[in-house]
Amino acid sequence: MIQASDYIGVLPEIVLAVFGIAVMMTEAALPPGASRRPLGWLAFVGTLAAVAATLYQARHPGTAFFDMVRVDSFSVFFHLLISFVAALVILSSLEYLDTQHIRAGEYYGLILFGAVGMVLMSSAIELVLIFIALEISSISTYVLAGFRRRAPASIESSIKYFLLGSFATAFFLYGVALMFGATGTTRIYQIADAVQNGQHSALVFTAVALMFVGLGFKVGAAPFHVWTPDVYEGAPAPVVGLMSTAPKAAAFAVLLRIFFAAGAPGWFWPVWISAALSMTLGNVSALVQDNVKRLLAYSSIAHAGYLLVAFAAAREIGISAAMFYSASYAFMNVGAFAVVSHFASAGERYVTLEDYAGLGRRSPGLAATLTIFLLSLIGIPITGGFFAKLYVFSAALQSNLVWLVIIAVVNSAIAAYYYLRIIVVMYMRNAREGAPPVEHVSAPLGVALALTAVATIYLGVLPGRVLDYASRAAALLVR
Amino acid sequence: MSEAILTIVTFLPLAGAVLLLLFPRKDDLIRWFALIVTLLGFVFSLHLPVHFVRGASGFQFETNRQWITAPNIHYHLGIDGISMWLVVLTTFLSPLCVLISWKSVHERVKEFFILLLILETALIFVALDLFLFYFFWEATLIPMALIIGIFGHERRIYAAVKFFLFTMIASMFMLAAIIWLYAQTGSFEYSAAQRAVEAGQIGWQAALWCFLGFFIAFAVKVPIFPLHTWLPDAHFEAPTAGSVMLAGVLLKMGTYGLLRFNVGLFPEQAREHAPWIITLAIIGIIYGALVAMVQPNLKKLVAYSSVSHLGFVVLGIFSFTTSGADGAVYQMLNHGVSTGALFMLVGILYERRHTFEISEFGGLATPMPVYATFFMFIMLSSVGLPLLNGFVGEFLVLNGAFQARAIYGILAATGVIWSACYLLWMYQRVFFGKVKKDVNLTLPDLSARERMALWPTALAALAMGVVPLFWLNAIEPAVRAVLSPLAQMAEAFVR
C-alpha cells in the first residue's frame, strides 16, 4: 500500500515538478511580447521550495514506494546540491535570456524538470527508476542545450548531445537488464546481498561495465568524453554551468550507489584507467584552447577524472571526498560559467581568450570573482577546490594508490597553466582596440556570483561541516 | 593578549585589505591607510620581542585551536627565537614598501595596496601546524604573482607565470610529504611529526622521501642553485615593493623552512645529505657572485647577489653547528634589511631615469650626494663591513663552516671577496668619476619620503652590527633546540 509517508520520500521531486508545470502553464497564458522574467522568479521560488522540502524530508529518513526510493543523508546531500545549483543557474539566466533575446518561459520549466530527474537519481535505489530519472534529466538538458535557436553551434550541440546521450543511456539500460539477469533483482540493496552471496558471474561484470559506460558518458569521463567540448561550446553558457555540474553530481551519486551500496565487483581497473585518462586528456587538451567555453569543457573532463580518483580509493573516506568534490566543483564551475555568460554578450560573441584581455581593468569585480573560481579550479588554498583535491588525493593515498595520485598531482600542475592563462590575460594584457565596454552586472546575476564566490571560499576556509556531513552520509550509504 | 597577539599581527593586514576594498578610489587616502595599517602591524609585532622570554626553549605565545576536524587540522601558532625575528622583519619592511611605492605605483593603486597587505598576511612564519603552514605558503603565490604580473616591467607576464609555476609545482612535493606524514601519524602538528620521526615510527627510507619533498619546495623558494632561474626574472620584472618583499621576506620562507622542517623534522636525513646540499650552496655563492659581477644591469646585479647571499644561509644551516645556524638566521635578517634597502635604492634611481643600465649612470655622487651616501652605507652592510650587520652574519656562518669542514669555509670565504668586488665596482661605476650623461646632472636628490623609507633600514643595519647579542640571545636557544637531536647523535657517536 502506498501511504502518505511515501510521498515524503519524493517530496522535492513533487515540488519541483509542480513548479515546473506552473511555469509552463503561465507561459502559455502570457502574451507573446511580455517579459519572461516573472517565470524565472517563479522557477527560482520552486528551487527554494525544493530546498525546504529536502530539509523537511531529511527529518524522515527511510525508504518509500516499495523500497524504490531511499531518503538518507546521502540523498539529502545531493538534493540540496542540485537544488542550489538549479537556483543559481536560474538567477544567472534571467539576465542572459534578455541579452540573447530569448523569450521562452519553458527554459525555466526545463531546468526544473531536469532537476526532478537529477534529484530522483540521487535518491532512487532501484535500477529501472534510476534509468527513468536519468532519462528525465537528460531529455531536459538535450533541449536546453539547443536553446540558442539562431546559432547553428547550439543546434549542433543539442543534436550531438541527444544522439550520443541516448546511445549512452541505452548502454546503461543494457547493464540494468544484464544485472537483473544475473541477480534476479533490480534493487540496489538486494543486488548487494546477491553479490555478497557469491554471484560473481561474468554477467555481473559485464553489467557493471555497461552501466559504467552509460554513466561515464553522463559525467564526461574519458574515453566517453568526446562530446563534451562541442556540446559545451554550442550550448548557452548558463546551461553549460548547469550541465557540467548538477547532472554530473547526480550521475556520480548513482555510480557511488552502484559501486559501494550494491558492492558491485570489477569496477576498480576501469575506474582507475578512466580517471587517469580523463585527467590527462582533459588537461593536455585544455592547454591549447583559445575558446574559454571549450577550455572549461576540457577542464570539466579533467575534474571528472579527479573525482574518479576518489572512487578508486574505494572507502568511506573516498565516498565523502567524492561528495565534497562534487559540491565544491559545482559552485566554482557554476560561478565561472555565470561570469562567462555575462561577458559573452548578445549572440555569445565574446568567448575567446583574447576577448578577456584587460578585463581586470574594464570590470574589476567580474574579473576578481572569476579569479576566485579559477584559483579554486587550480586548487589553491583558501578556495574549496583546494580541500576538494586534498581530500581526494589523501583518500587515494590512504588506499595506496600512489601512482594514481602521482598522475593526479602532475595533472594539477599542468592544469594550473591554462587556468592561469585566463588570469594573466585578464589582468596583465591590455584590452584590444575598440573592445566594447562590459555591461553592468544585473542584480540577480550579481547575487548568484556573490553566492557562488562565498560558497567557494567558505568551503576553502571552513570545510569541516560539509565534510562531516558527507562522512556521515558515506557511512550510511553502505547500508 | 599574549594568546591573541600572533593572530592580531598576522591578520591585521588582511583586515586592512578587506577594509580597503570598501574604499573609494582616492589614491592618497588609500596610500595613507595602507601606511597606517602596516605601521600598526609593526607596532603590534614589537610586543613579541618585548615580552619574549629569552633563553627559554620551545615555542611562546602559542594559540592552538581545532580548525577542521577531519582531517585533523589545527590553527596552531607559536614562535621561537627564529620565527619571531622573521615576523618582525616582515612587519618592519611592509611600511617601507608602502612608502617606496607611494609615487611609483600610480595606476590601480587600490589593487596594489590590497595585494601588498594580503601578501603581508600570507607570509606566515608562525604556523606550527604543517597543514596551516602549507596553506599560507601556497597563498603567498597569488598576491606575489599578481604584483609582479600587473605592476612589473616589460616582461612581467613571463616572470609572473614562471614564478608561479616554479613555486607551485615544487610545493606539491611538500604537500605530498605533509599528507604522507599525516597518514602515518594522524596529525599535522609539527611536534607530533617530530616525535614520530624521532621514535622511528617512520622508516628511514620513507623519511628520506619526505625530507626530499620538503627540500624541493624550499630549495626552489630560497633558491638553491640550479633551481634559481626564476629569481632573476621575478626580481627584475617586479615593481620595487615587490622586489623588497620577495627578497626581504618571501625567500626567507625557503630558508626558514629548511631549518625548521628539513633539519628540525629529519635531522638524520639532513646530516646524511648535507654534503651535496652544501656543495650546491657553495656553487650558488660563487656562481651568484660571478654572474652579479658581469651584470650590466643594476637590478639584476642585486638579484644575483641575493642568490649568492642566500647560499651563505643554506651553508650555515647545513653546517650543523650552533655558530653556523645562528649566523644563518642572522644572515636571513641581514639580507632582508640590506637587500631590501638595495632594491629600494635601485628602484628610486629607476623612478628618476627609467633604466637600470649601469652604463647609463656615472658620477651620480655629484647630483645626488645624500642618495650616494645611503647607497654606500647599505652596500657596505651588504659587503660585510665590521660594525655593520652583514659582518656578524657572515662571520658566524663562516665560523660554522670552518668547524664543519675547512674546505667549506675556504670556498665560501671567497664569496665574501667576490661580493666586495662586484658591489664596490658597481658603486664606482655608478657614483664616482665625472657625470657622463647630461640628464644625470639634474637628477633630484632623495625626497623626504624616500629618506623616511631608507633611514630605518640604515639604522637597523647599524644596530644589528653593533649590538648583535640583542638578536642573537633570542635566536640561539631556538637554534640549539633545532640542532639538539644532531648534537645527541654526535655525542652518542663519540661514546
> Is the CB of A464 less than 8 angstroms away from the CB of B164?
no
Chain A positions touching B69 (Cβ under 8 A) are 464, 468
Residue B5 inside a domain? The answer is no
Residue B283 inside a domain? The answer is yes
Residue range A339-347: average pLDDT?
84
B69 vs A: CB within 8 A: yes
Chain A positions touching B70 (Cβ under 8 A) are 464, 467-468, 471
Across the interface, of A390, A412, A424, the residue whose CB is closest to B161 is A424
Residue range B70-77: average pLDDT?
83
Measured between CA atoms, how close is A464 to chain B, in angstroms?
5
Using CB atoms within 10 A of its CB, is residue A447 exposed (0-12), middle (13-18) or buried (19+)?
A: middle
pLDDT of residue A247: 92
Residue range A151-170: average pLDDT?
90
Residue B27 pLDDT grade (very low, low, confident, very high; cuts 50, 70, 90): confident
Q: Is the pLDDT of residue A70 over 70?
A: yes
A409 vs B: CB within 8 A: yes
Q: Which residue has the higher pLDDT, A77 or A363?
A: A77
Across the interface, of B135, B156, B182, the residue whose CB is closest to A428 is B156
Residue range A358-383: average pLDDT?
88
Across the interface, of B70, B142, B157, the residue whose CB is closest to A380 is B142
Which of B109, B175, B185 would best serve as a mutation to test chain A binding (most A beta carbons within 10 A)?
Answer: B175
B77 vs A: CB within 8 A: no
Measured between CA atoms, how close is B273 to chain A, in angstroms?
25
Residue B276 inside a domain? The answer is yes
Residue A454 pLDDT grade (very low, low, confident, very high; cuts 50, 70, 90): very high
> Is the CB of B134 less than 8 angstroms away from the CB of A381?
yes
Measured between CA atoms, how close is A429 to chain B, in angstroms?
9
Across the interface, of A382, A397, A416, the residue whose CB is closest to B180 is A397
What range defines the domain where residue B312 resides? 266-495
CB pairs under 8 A between A and B: 70
A361 vs B: CB within 8 A: yes
B172 vs A: CB within 8 A: yes
Tens-digit pLDDT profile for residues B367-378: 888 989 999 999
Across the interface, of B68, B160, B183, the residue whose CB is closest to A428 is B160
Three-state SS string over chain B comes to: CCCCHHHHHHHHHHHHHHHHHCCCCCHHHHHHHHHHHHHHHHHHHHHHHHHCCCCCCCCEEEEEEEEECCCCEEEEEEECHHHHHHHHHHHHHHHHHHHHCCCCCCCCHHHHHHHHHHHHHHCCCCECEHHHHHHHHHHCHHHHHHHHHHHCCCCHHHHHHHHHHHHHHHHHHHHHHHHHHHHHHCCCEHHHHHHHHHCCCCCHHHHHHHHHHHHHHHHHHCCCCCCCCHHHHHHHHCCHHHHHHHHHHHHHHHHHHHHHHHHHHCHHHHHHHHHHHHHHHHHHHHHHHHHHHCCCEHHHHHHHHHHHHHHHHHHHHHCCCHHHHHHHHHHHHHHHHHHHHHHHHHHHHHHHHCCCEHHHCCCCCCCCHHHHHHHHHHHHHHHCCCCCHHHHHHHHHHHHHHHHCHHHHHHHHHHHHHHHHHHHHHHHHHHCCCCCCHHHHCCCCCCHHHHHHHHHHHHHHHHHHHCCHHHHHHHHHHHHHHHHHHHHHHHHHHC
Residue B392 inside a domain? The answer is yes
Tens-digit pLDDT profile for residues B255-302: 999 988 888 888 888 888 888 999 999 999 999 999 999 988 889 999
A382 vs B: CB within 8 A: yes
Residue B64 inside a domain? The answer is no
Chain A positions touching B160 (Cβ under 8 A) are 424, 428
Chain A positions touching B138 (Cβ under 8 A) are 380-381, 386
Answer yes or no: pTM beyond 0.90.
no
Q: Is the pLDDT of residue A48 over 90?
A: yes
- Number of folded domains that form chain B: 1
Chain B positions touching A471 (Cβ under 8 A) are 70
Chain A positions touching B134 (Cβ under 8 A) are 381
Question: In chain B, which among 342-401 make CB contacts under 8 A with chain A?
Answer: none
- What is the percentage of chain A residues whose pLDDT exceeds 90? 45
Residue B495 inside a domain? The answer is yes
> Is the CB of B179 less than 8 angstroms away from the CB of A417?
no
Tens-digit pLDDT profile for residues A273-312: 999 999 999 999 999 988 999 999 999 999 999 999 998 8
B18 vs A: CB within 8 A: no
pLDDT of residue A455: 94
Tens-digit pLDDT profile for residues A94-119: 888 888 888 788 899 999 999 999 99
Tens-digit pLDDT profile for residues B98-134: 988 888 888 888 888 989 998 888 777 888 899 889 9
Residue B170 inside a domain? The answer is no
Residue B7 inside a domain? The answer is no
* Minimum CA–CA partner of A398 in chain B: B183
Measured between CA atoms, how close is A292 to chain B, in angstroms?
19
Q: Is the pLDDT of residue B490 over 70?
A: no
Measured between CA atoms, how close is B301 to chain A, in angstroms?
26
Q: What is the mean pLDDT of chain B?
A: 87
> Is the CB of B142 less than 8 angstroms away from the CB of A428?
no
Chain B positions touching A364 (Cβ under 8 A) are 111
* Minimum CA–CA partner of A365 in chain B: B21
* Minimum CA–CA partner of A470 in chain B: B70
Across the interface, of A380, A405, A427, the residue whose CB is closest to B150 is A427
Question: In chain A, which among 29-88 make CB contacts under 8 A with chain B?
Answer: none
